[in-house]
Chains A and B, each alone.
Chain A
């Protein structure tokens, strides 16, 4: 659990983060969104003390983050940034081994960890371990960057626009991978982005920041249903609202008894995907199956339209 308690950061007269308090639950994904200059990156960097706050306190699992020296704190917290930040003079394996090396792990343990992570990120350890970062594609570099951040098995992973440099197709894949990794390790992730689609796709909770303040902090559905400020509404976008609701709900949640023809959809796909399927194939209903392939009924166009309507 990360407790941010009345934290403020001022540079001279300029207040970058203004009296922010929020509690981040363990094993969740929290996304901080805002325009550039909103203070979201500064807030993130105060968690691992790359930036020292002017006022306030941050507690990790109840312990003040100033209780130990900054560099020791940062070794316990994963950190991944835009453009991956890999060390160009070190191989992929050496990059991933950095933090375990700093912590003084035994070589055999480090090697095992590097191989485990590369395999988890669908990179063959024998092929990619000895390569240098510039020999990798953008997507592969980004995966290695996240693997390096996770190498010392941190409970918390901080990510600053980690997918900003990727093209849309690679980015979607990277987001899926991140969610899978998060479920695998149970890591608490705090991610900063300016991309609302990304926020809605990944977040258990979203914090919207503007001019150093958190305007609203809550589950995605709450942001659509009850935006706390006009800025939140603008950020979500008038024309996007119904689709954002569908995007964060699972197809399984709209399933009703009955039959339908054609390709079925998995229950854990989003309702937005189900709607797209229906519209494109010109059908009124499509079958839903569970993750194991068991039929669960059908999703109708009518039900989806109801879900997309403004919640009462």
Chain B
């Protein structure tokens, strides 16, 4: 049997080699702001654990390098990722001098490079396996469960990011709540307004160009500028409309952030609604009228179900975009994970930046996987594979 190399595997192996040989695994800092000392895998871990991790990474890299079953590759990637995440927590408690509460250990570039290499391997294996939607959600749940387990077990508690969390646990969850509320709330409002607007644009041709061009224009305004633009009108509303201030509408804070995210969300929702409805086969529409459906019945029984996958795609785009953009809301006092990011930048404390950035990325990733699964489950209906 001839041994054949996997093209992507070569790239993964090169990246992994970079991570092991040319970068540090962890950084030990005397306190949260000062520069730290870089440590390689063998320096950061006791000998047995260091060598054990290296051997495991080598085996996983070998599996990535050659053409093998995707299941094997996925298992190798999962094992490598699990080992890396456990090892970094272990390195933290190993490196921190006993009784020193100022010293900080954080993952260094080598850790992130290795994480990226094996995440790439996992993603490639998953693409080849073409798992059905439910299985992808299951994988996501397993990953989430694993991370939750690590967090609860306390094996990451020695890491600097967790130390930053430890000091602000209550604030963290409040800001998390604000972040999700902003992202989901503005999406919900955008769908509520965008769907009827999209339907209207589909039916009334002359309206379509005007509305879509206006929304396109809004999309090009930088978010900071949009916040600035909104301060005036919202402050005016708060001052003149009775009860508006009590609802939390002010020139700065969550209200302008909400409005900005809502405006950015409108274009994808409206545009995809128009595209989705335009893609409904004309014969199906003609038949629907011809056999006696009213306009409303035709909309809800024929046009809408057929346009749904395209509309769901818009919702996926908007959700992921909003989760990321909600970070900016912190700039004008809107709260969210951005609070930690901007505080961290202000204090040059990168660990604090990570405390804001990592949950944002994780949230966006999870939302993307779940909505992709939902879209696929829906567009499969005409194929009869999974009639929901």
Provide the residues of chain B in CB contact with A85, threshold 8 Å: 281, 283-284, 286-288, 290
Given A86-B284, A131-B384, A132-B384, also A99-B306 (CB < 8 A): no
Q: Taking the nearest CB of chain B, how far is it from the CB of A107, in angstroms?
A: 17
Which of B48-56, B73-81, B250-258, B291-299 forms part of the interface with chain A?
A: B291-299
Q: Cβ of A74 and Cβ of B381 under 8 Å apart?
A: no
Q: Which residue of B lies closest to A79 (CB)?
A: B290
B289 CB-CB contact with A under 8 Å: yes
Q: Cβ of B382 and Cβ of A83 under 8 Å apart?
A: no
Instruction: From the candidates A50, A87, A134, name the one contacting B302 in the complex (CB within 8 A).
Output: A87
Q: Cβ of B283 and Cβ of A102 under 8 Å apart?
A: no
B305 CB-CB contact with A under 8 Å: yes
Provide the residues of chain B in CB contact with A82, threshold 8 Å: 283
Instruction: From the candidates B291, B301, B305, B384, name the one contacting A74 in the complex (CB within 8 A).
Output: B291
A81 CB-CB contact with B under 8 Å: yes
Provide the residues of chain B in CB contact with A83, threshold 8 Å: 283
Q: Cβ of B384 and Cβ of A99 under 8 Å apart?
A: no
Provide the residues of chain A in CB contact with B387, threshold 8 Å: 91
Q: Cβ of A135 and Cβ of B384 under 8 Å apart?
A: yes
Q: Taking the nearest CB of chain A, how far is it from the CB of B290, in angstroms?
A: 4
Q: Taking the nearest CB of chain A, how far is it from the CB of B301, in angstroms?
A: 8
Q: Cβ of B287 and Cβ of A81 under 8 Å apart?
A: yes
Q: Which residue of A lies closest to B287 (CB)?
A: A85
Say what secondary structure dominates the interface of chain A: mixed
B305-338 CB mask vs A (1 if < 8 Å, else 0) is: 1100000000000000000000000000000000
Q: Cβ of A89 and Cβ of B289 under 8 Å apart?
A: no
Q: Cβ of A102 and Cβ of B297 under 8 Å apart?
A: yes
Q: Cβ of A79 and Cβ of B306 under 8 Å apart?
A: no
**A137 CA to B285 CA, complexed, in Å:** 21
B35 CB-CB contact with A under 8 Å: no
Q: Cβ of B284 and Cβ of A74 under 8 Å apart?
A: no
Q: Cβ of B384 and Cβ of A98 under 8 Å apart?
A: no
Provide the residues of chain A in CB contact with B293, threshold 8 Å: 71, 98, 102
**A75 CA to B234 CA, complexed, in Å:** 52
Instruction: From the candidates A76, A86, A89, name the one contacting B305 in the complex (CB within 8 A).
Output: A89
**A75 CA to B387 CA, complexed, in Å:** 28
A285 CB-CB contact with B under 8 Å: no
A88 CB-CB contact with B under 8 Å: yes
Q: Cβ of B382 and Cβ of A79 under 8 Å apart?
A: no
**A158 CA to B289 CA, complexed, in Å:** 13
Q: Taking the nearest CB of chain B, how far is it from the CB of A173, in angstroms?
A: 22
Q: Taking the nearest CB of chain B, how far is it from the CB of A265, in angstroms?
A: 40
Given A79-B287, A85-B283, A85-B284, also A72-B382 (CB < 8 A): no
Q: Cβ of A134 and Cβ of B382 under 8 Å apart?
A: yes
Q: Cβ of B291 and Cβ of A81 under 8 Å apart?
A: no
Given A88-B281, A132-B382, also A71-B292 (CB < 8 A): yes
Q: Cβ of A149 and Cβ of B292 under 8 Å apart?
A: no
**A222 CA to B181 CA, complexed, in Å:** 77
**A145 CA to B297 CA, complexed, in Å:** 19
Provide the residues of chain B in CB contact with A98, threshold 8 Å: 291, 293
Interface centre among B286, B288, B291, B306 (most CB of A within 10 A): B291
A9 CB-CB contact with B under 8 Å: no
Given A85-B287, A88-B281, A132-B384, also A102-B306 (CB < 8 A): no
Provide the residues of chain B in CB contact with A91, threshold 8 Å: 384, 387
Instruction: From the candidates B289, B294, B306, name the one contacting A88 in the complex (CB within 8 A).
Output: B306
B383 CB-CB contact with A under 8 Å: yes
Given A87-B302, A132-B383, A132-B384, also A71-B287 (CB < 8 A): no
Q: Cβ of A48 and Cβ of B284 under 8 Å apart?
A: no
A203-247 CB mask vs B (1 if < 8 Å, else 0) is: 000000000000000000000000000000000000000000000
Q: Which residue of B lies closest to A158 (CB)?
A: B290
Provide the residues of chain B in CB contact with A75, threshold 8 Å: 291-292
**A292 CA to B119 CA, complexed, in Å:** 76
**A91 CA to B387 CA, complexed, in Å:** 10
Q: Taking the nearest CB of chain A, how far is it from the CB of B194, in angstroms?
A: 22
Instruction: From the candidates A88, A99, A131, A134, name the one contacting B291 in the complex (CB within 8 A).
Output: A99
Q: Which residue of A lies closest to B302 (CB)?
A: A87
Provide the residues of chain B in CB contact with A132, threshold 8 Å: 382-384
**A73 CA to B382 CA, complexed, in Å:** 30
Given A88-B306, A89-B381, also A74-B289 (CB < 8 A): yes
A94-131 CB mask vs B (1 if < 8 Å, else 0) is: 00001100100000000000000000000000000011
A40 CB-CB contact with B under 8 Å: no
Q: Which 8 A-B residue pairs are closest in the complex by CB-CB distance?
A: A85-B287, A75-B292, A79-B290, A74-B292, A85-B283, A132-B384, A71-B292, A83-B283
Q: List 21 A-B contacts (CB under 8 A).
A: A50-B290, A71-B293, A79-B290, A81-B287, A81-B290, A83-B283, A85-B281, A85-B283, A85-B284, A85-B286, A86-B287, A88-B382, A89-B305, A89-B382, A99-B291, A99-B292, A102-B292, A130-B384, A132-B382, A135-B384, A148-B287
Interface residue ranges, B against A (CB under 8 Å): 281, 283-284, 286-294, 297, 301-302, 305-306, 381-384, 387
8 other A-B residue contacts (CB within 8 Å) besides A71-B293, A73-B292, A132-B384: A48-B290, A71-B294, A81-B283, A82-B283, A102-B292, A130-B384, A132-B383, A134-B382
